[in-house]
Each structure stands twice: as structure tokens, then as C-alpha cells.
């Protein structure tokens, strides 16, 4: 490690690295598994980039206190559990500080790393990448330059704008064959591309076969969707095994283990504990790949792969590779098996390790038919829990990913029934889907009144141009939309009472 001087446009900053800086388009590259860069002026804000889809991503004030999630079982849903109790603010792979003159970015040219707010600058470490991009200037320029380089290193994929009907945010897990048939029929005349069947069709988390609510089976459902002129989409959580699944019971040797030999927890959901499949175990990976090949064989060529952070959790693996490398090899094996024509949407996914393999990724937590779950944020410090407000806030801070992958900000709402969002809140979510080029809803046509149905129909066929004006303001078809009041507000996080 040595002290080096890094010239970044008009300024020069001090850094600690293993090498002298090497100039690249838009900035410099520093080498080392551990790097520190001083900001040219006193930082005011820190850009925290959350580890996985749902993880809080935003510009924090530098004096915002660190507020860990006090419940261990929730860590995996919120961020990288390895850093859940870190003393400093930090994020995954890339970070930045903003001062009065511009933005200093420090980002790994690789799939993993941690960037923390340090005294007067940024400090970073990585187990997989010893090359870091550093630049100083306007936010869109430094993030744009980083995205281009990252794309060269990890890859990117193009996805045309999508128009998706997804079952989750109306039916939740209570989907049935007749209910979906009715929706498919009622979607006639609405210009959707995809009908994506979400959670609720499977026997169990891990047992990826149709349950009793789908008596005709999954191929018949795919055919029904295809017959309506739509692309069949299916949700799976292929790296999870519920404690009561057959997968977990029959294949204990396929589970990721901790140092003591116990199966690693991937969280608590579906009324029980879920465990992580060890995707480096060849038979386990072979099984996962078979499951997805089977889903494609049923006729589904749009797959939403959810809770896939489970492939990158810390633990003892069959093959001793870094956890993000394990994840990436597994998703690459899936891509190789299903081919390029299948759309793969990542959800609950470590973001940068998903680039180049997935076509699209959820870039924020779940929306919900209510704006905010104040207890959950205040007392549990959870910004990754389903709530529309933080879904918008996190997604807005991930738009720099757009050149590398399709960006899914979750669904828009056109309905008034079964929805507590007000018109302004619904409009803001809808505008975000326009910026993202990913139009989705779960609204059941039969619950919409004529006016709402017309609005949905127009939304699906509209051709609007979107132009970024600044960090939070966009021109959307001639209207100026400001995400700032929602995206930049600091959440109220109360201290945990002893
Ligand atoms: C299906 C859902 C939908 C949704 C996904 C994902 O933090 N949490 O506890 C948490 C639970 C569920 C969740 C996200 C976060 O939702 O994002 O679109 O597919 O699974 O179960």
C-alpha cells in the first residue's frame, strides 16, 4: 500500500492503493484489494448502494447515524448480512460522496466489494476485485463512466420496454387456475406483453410443481396465456428450500452450512424458516438448473427468479469460492441452460453480480397498496420492507444501472379499490415505471372502473419520451416530474429501546 496522488479533472486527491493511478475514460483506475480515497472537499452526502434489489439505496447526509436492523432474521431481506452491524455507513460494490463541487465515486471493476464512508472520503475492500474506478465531477457523468466500464468487465444485456401483468400485488399467494383464467380473458384489449404468474402456484418453496389450485398443471396455464397472445411468465425462488419442503427433507447435503455444520438461514417467510441451497454442490446446482429447464419446457419463457440473494450468503460451500463468485456461476449455469431467448428477471438479487446474466432486475423493495409502514421503518429500521414510499426512493437511486440491465421498479396502480395510495402517490409510481421503461401492474381488470381501465389502456400504448433533468427531476412527455421530495427525504429511525 502506498500513498498516491490521483488527478481527477481539475482536482487532485490523495489515495491509498497498491499502484499508481492509470487513466481511463472519465477517471482513473486504482489497484488493490483495499483502497482509500480522500474527497477533494468536505463531503455532505454519501451514496449508499444497497447489496441486493430490496436494499436501501440513497444519498444519506454524512451525519445520519448508522441504524442497524435489530432483528437478525430480517437481515437477509434488508442488506448484506455480513455488514448488518457495521459501524460506518457503507454499501455494496460502489459508493460516492458529494461535496459542494461535485461527486467523488469509487466503484469496484468486479462483482463484489464494500465501499464505506470514511473520515473525509471513501474506504473500500473487495475479495474479488483489485481494480477500482475513481472519478470526480457531475453525478451523471461519473456514474455514467463507471457504468460503461462496469459493463465492459461484467457485461450487460439489452431488454426492450416491458409491459407486464403480475399476479402478486392483487392476489398475493392466493392464486388459482380459475382466477387467473378470468384475468387472462379480461386482459383482452389491453396491450400487455407478459402475464407473469407469481408466488402461489407451487407445492412448496423448493418443490416447484403445481399445487392443487392448478389442477390442469403448468403447461396448460402457459398455453392459455400464450393462446391469449401473451408471453407466459413464472415466479420461482430457485435457491431457497423451506424447512418443510421435500427438497430440504430429501437433500440435507445440498444446503449451505455454517461453520458449526447447521443449515444457513435465508430468512423467515411462508410461515417458517427458509434455507439456502449450496449452488456450488454439483447435484444441487444440477437440480436447480433442471427445475428452470422444466419451467421453460412447460412454456414459460419469462422467469422471475426471486430471493436469489440466498446463492450469495456467507457459509461453508462444497466448493470453496467467494460467495458472489458462487452466485454468479450458478446464474450463468441457469442462463446457459435456458438460452438467450428466455427473459430472466432477478429479484431480491445482489445487483452487480447479476449484470450480464439477467435481462432485468428489481431495483427496489416491493411497492404495496399503502405508502408507508411507519412502525417498520421507525422501530425496525427497515427500508427494504414492502412500502411504496421506499420502493420509489430506492429505485430512483438505481437508475444509473439502466444502460446495463432492464430496471424493474415494481408495479404501478390504476385501481382505487383495494388500494390506499392517493392519486399523487399512484402517479409518482407510474411515472417511475415510465422512466424505467418497465410498465407493470397487478390490477385485476374486473376491479377497475371504466375511467381506470382507459387510463391503464393508454399507459400501455403510450409513446412518451423521458429525459433526465437532474438527480431527481425528469421530463416525461413534456411534463416535469420531481421525485426529489420522496427520494431525498431521510426516514425517521428511532433508537432501539433497551
Ligand atoms: C412473493 C414476493 C413477490 C415480490 C418479491 C418478494 O422483506 N421481506 O420480508 C420481503 C418479503 C417478500 C418480498 C420482498 C421482501 O417479496 O419482491 O415481488 O414476488 O416475493 O413472495
CA dihedral sign of residues 289, 292, 297, 298: positive
* Cβ–ligand 1 contact at 369 (below 6 Å): no
Q: Cβ(94)–Cβ(106) under 8 Å?
A: yes
What are the 10-residue block averages of pLDDT along the chain, 498 residues in total? 95 97 98 97 98 98 95 96 97 98 98 96 97 98 98 97 98 98 98 98 98 98 98 99 98 98 98 98 98 98 98 98 98 98 98 98 98 95 96 98 98 97 98 98 98 98 98 98 97 87
Nearest CA to ligand 1 atom 21: 199
CA of 16 to the centre of ligand 1 (A): 40
Spatial CB neighbours of 404, under 8 Å, sequence gap ≥ 6: 147, 150, 151, 156, 157, 355, 356
Cell of residue 483, nine digits: 421525485
Atom of ligand 1 minimally distant from the CA of 199: 1
* Cβ–ligand 1 contact at 300 (below 6 Å): no
* Cβ–ligand 1 contact at 384 (below 6 Å): yes
Atom of ligand 1 minimally distant from the CA of 267: 9
For position 1, what pLDDT does the model report? Answer: 84
For position 7, what pLDDT does the model report? Answer: 97
CA of 423 to the centre of ligand 1 (A): 24
**How far is 99 from 82, CA to CA, in rounded Å?**
29
Residue 496: half-sphere exposure toward Cβ, Cα within 13 Å: 12
* Cβ–ligand 1 contact at 408 (below 6 Å): no
Mutate to test the pocket of ligand 1, among 54, 169, 380 (most ligand atoms within 8 A of CB): 54
**How far is 45 from 444, CA to CA, in rounded Å?**
42
Atom of ligand 1 minimally distant from the CA of 235: 19
Nearest CA to ligand 1 atom 2: 199
For position 469, what pLDDT does the model report? Answer: 98
For position 496, what pLDDT does the model report? Answer: 87
Nearest CA to ligand 1 atom 13: 366
Taking Cα atoms as reference points, which of 490, 434, 426 lies closest to residue 462?
434
CA of 408 to the centre of ligand 1 (A): 14
CA of 199 to the centre of ligand 1 (A): 9
CA of 277 to the centre of ligand 1 (A): 18
* Cβ–ligand 1 contact at 132 (below 6 Å): no
DSSP state of 399: G
Q: Cβ(126)–Cβ(114) under 8 Å?
A: yes
* Cβ–ligand 1 contact at 104 (below 6 Å): no
Taking Cα atoms as reference points, which of 427, 418, 425, 415 lies closest to residue 371?
425
Atom of ligand 1 minimally distant from the CA of 410: 18
* Cβ–ligand 1 contact at 432 (below 6 Å): no
Amino acid at each position: 500500500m502506498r500513498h498516491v496522488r490521483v488527478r481527477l479533472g481539475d482536482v487532485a486527491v490523495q489515495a491509498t492503493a497498491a499502484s499508481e493511478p492509470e487513466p481511463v475514460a472519465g477517471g482513473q483506475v486504482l489497484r488493490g484489494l483495499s483502497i482509500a480515497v480522500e474527497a477533494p472537499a468536505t463531503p455532505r452526502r454519501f451514496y449508499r448502494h444497497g447489496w441486493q434489489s430490496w436494499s436501501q439505496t440513497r444519498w444519506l447526509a454524512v451525519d445520519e447515524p448508522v441504524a442497524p436492523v435489530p432483528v437478525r432474521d430480517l437481515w437477509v431481506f434488508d442488506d448484506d448480512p455480513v455488514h448488518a452491524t457495521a459501524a460506518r455507513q457503507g454499501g455494496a460494490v460502489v459508493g460516492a460522496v458529494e461535496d459542494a463541487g461535485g461527486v467523488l465515486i469509487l466503484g469496484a471493476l468486479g462483482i463484489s466489494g464494500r465501499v464505506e464512508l470514511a473520515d473525509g472520503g471513501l474506504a473500500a475492500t473487495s475479495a474479488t476485485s483489485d481494480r477500482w474506478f475513481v472519478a470526480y465531477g457531475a453525478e451523471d457523468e461519473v456514474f455514467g463512466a463507471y457504468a460503461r466500464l462496469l459493463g465492459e468487465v461484467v457485461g450487460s444485456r439489452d431488454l426492450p420496454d416491458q409491459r407486464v401483468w403480475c399476479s402478486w400485488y392483487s392476489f398475493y399467494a392466493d392464486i388459482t387456475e380459475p382466477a387467473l383464467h378470468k384475468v387472462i380473458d379480461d386482459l383482452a384489449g389491453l396491450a400487455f406483453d407478459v402475464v407473469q404468474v407469481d408466488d402461489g402456484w407451487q407445492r412448496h418453496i423448493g418443490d416447484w410443481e403445481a399445487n392443487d389450485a392448478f389442477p390442469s398443471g403448468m403447461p396448460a396455464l402457459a398455453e392459455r396465456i400464450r393462446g391469449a397472445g401473451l408471453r407466459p411468465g413464472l415466479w420461482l425462488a430457485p435457491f431457497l428450500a423451506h424447512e418443510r419442503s421435500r427438497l430440504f427433507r430429501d437433500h440435507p447435503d445440498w444446503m449451505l452450512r455454517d461453520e458449526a455444520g447447521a443449515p444457513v438461514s435465508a430468512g423467515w417467510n411462508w410461515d417458517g424458516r427458509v434455507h439456502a441451497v449450496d449452488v456450488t454442490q454439483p447435484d444441487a446446482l444440477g437440480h436447480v438448473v433442471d427445475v428452470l429447464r422444466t419451467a421453460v419446457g412447460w412454456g414459460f419463457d419469462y422467469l422471475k427468479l426471486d430471493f436469489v440473494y440466498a446463492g450469495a450468503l456467507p457459509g461453508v460451500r462444497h466448493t470453496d469460492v467467494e460467495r458472489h463468485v458462487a452466485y454468479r456461476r450458478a446464474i450463468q449455469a441457469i442462463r446457459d441452460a435456458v438460452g438467450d431467448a428466455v427473459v430472466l428477471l432477478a429479484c431480491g438479487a445482489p445487483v452487480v453480480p447479476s449484470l450480464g446474466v439477467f435481462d432485468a432486475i428489481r431495483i427496489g423493495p416491493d411497492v404495496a397498496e399503502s405508502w408507508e409502514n411507519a412502525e417498520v421503518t421507525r422501530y425496525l429500521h427497515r427500508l427494504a420492507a414492502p412500502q411504496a414510499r421506499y420502493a420509489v426512493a430506492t429505485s430512483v437511486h438505481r437508475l444509473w444501472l439502466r444502460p446495463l440491465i432492464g430496471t424493474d421498479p415494481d408495479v404501478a396502480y390504476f385501481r382505487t379499490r383495494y388500494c390506499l395510495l392517493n392519486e399523487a402517490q399512484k402517479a409518482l409510481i407510474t411515472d417511475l415505471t415510465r422512466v424505467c421503461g418497465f410498465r407493470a401492474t397487478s390490477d385485476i381488470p374486473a376491479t377497475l372502473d371504466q375511467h381506470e381501465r382507459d387510463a391503464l389502456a393508454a399507459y400501455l400504448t403510450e409513446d412518451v419520451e423521458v429525459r433526465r433533468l437532474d438527480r431527481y427531476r425528469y421530463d416525461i412527455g413534456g411534463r416535469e416530474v420531481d421525485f426529489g421530495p420522496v427520494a431525498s427525504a431521510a426516514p425517521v429511525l428511532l433508537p432501539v429501546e433497551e
